[in-house]
Structure 1
Amino acid sequence: MTPLHIRPAQPDELTTVESLLIEVSEWLASRGIDQWQFPPHRDRITAALHRGEVFLAEVEGRPIATLQLDNHADPEFWTAVDEPGNALYVHRMAVARDFAGFGVGGALLRWASDRAALMGKAWLRLDAWKDNLGLHRYYESQGFTLIRVINLPHRGSGALFQRPTR
């Protein structure tokens, strides 16, 4: 695969980001996984685009993946004991299906970890869908450790993962 270029997504690229998220949600649904089976949170994504927290990965100028990387530690998941300010958090990572299996997700996570380390953060963290065990195995294969699972009736997510940035 040609080199991957990761850059901040611009506010006018909302449709591009949404398209990547919708493609992955449709793929998940085709596999019987209910994760992301709702319209993308357009308002949250738009705000994150304006804050410079959404990124696109490109190959030869074509956007093939996206993720959001920020300081937002969901207070329903991460507590003061977790020292939430000592981490960056990955949200909404999606890779176009025709680039799945080529290490794009791993490259994005390494990039995010490096970015967190440069900011002096000790951890890269994320919360994953509680019952998507294949996704849990993927994150574990990328060096993440499952910290705990938070079971809230109004949340599908809640499997908390982290890995050190160094």
Structure 2
Amino acid sequence: MKDLLIRPGRVDELGTVEALLQGASTWLASRGIDQWQYPPHRARIVTALEQGVCFLVFEDGEPIATIQVDDFADPEFWKPDDDPGAALYVHRMATSRSAAGRGVGGKLLDWATDRAAEQGKQWLRLDAWKDNEGLHRYYEGAGFTLLRIVDLPHRRSGALFQRPSKRGTDINR
């Protein structure tokens, strides 16, 4: 794999972020998975771009992925007992089909894990689609532990995963 450039996206790149997310949505639908089968949350993406927490990934000058990494712990999922401030959180990670199968997602998760460690956070966390078992296996294969599934009727996401921010260490809770 060639070198990747990961940088904060700009507000004028909203269309690029949306296109990457829509590409992932289309691919998921083609596999019979109902994840992300709605328009991207434009206002949330704009806010993330403005805050510098929505990143674009480039290879040879072409955008191939996006990831949002911030300290927002969704209070419907992450409770005070989880110590929400001890983690960074991944949201809306998507890779273009042209980059699929080349380990880009894993590199992004490693990058986000290093970012969490640099910020003194103990964990990298995310919430995944509750019924996408293939995605659950992907995250487990990337060193994440499934903590629990929060089953809220108004939320399709809710499979809560985390991994230590210091790779190669085993932190027990």
* Residue aligning to 2:101: 101
- Could you give the per-residue CA deviations for residues 110-148 of structure 1, whole angstroms, max 9, x where no partner exists? 000000100000000000000000000000010000000
d(CA) in 2 for partners of 1:140 and 1:57?
23
* Residue aligning to 2:16: 16
d(CA) in 1 for partners of 2:145 and 2:100?
22
* Residue aligning to 1:43: 43
Structure 1 unmatched ranges of 5 or more: none
Shift of 1:2: 1.1
Structure 2 unmatched ranges of 5 or more: 167-173
* Residue aligning to 1:80: 80
Shift of 1:98: 1.4
The one-letter code of the counterpart of 2:165 is: T
TM-score (norm 2): 0.95
The one-letter code of the counterpart of 1:89 is: Y
Q: CA RMSD in A?
A: 0.5
After TM superposition, where is structure 1 displaced by more than 4 Å over at least 4 residues in a row?
A: none
* Residue aligning to 1:137: 137
- Could you give the per-residue CA deviations for residues 32-84 of structure 1, whole angstroms, max 9, x where no partner exists? 10100000000000011000010011101111000000000000000000000
* Residue aligning to 1:34: 34
d(CA) in 2 for partners of 1:45 and 1:39?
12
The one-letter code of the counterpart of 1:25 is: S
d(CA) in 1 for partners of 2:17 and 2:110?
20
* Residue aligning to 1:68: 68
Report sequence identity in percent: 67
d(CA) in 1 for partners of 2:2 and 2:121?
30
How many residues in Structure 1 have an aligned counterpart in Structure 2?
166
The one-letter code of the counterpart of 2:79 is: T
* Residue aligning to 2:169: none
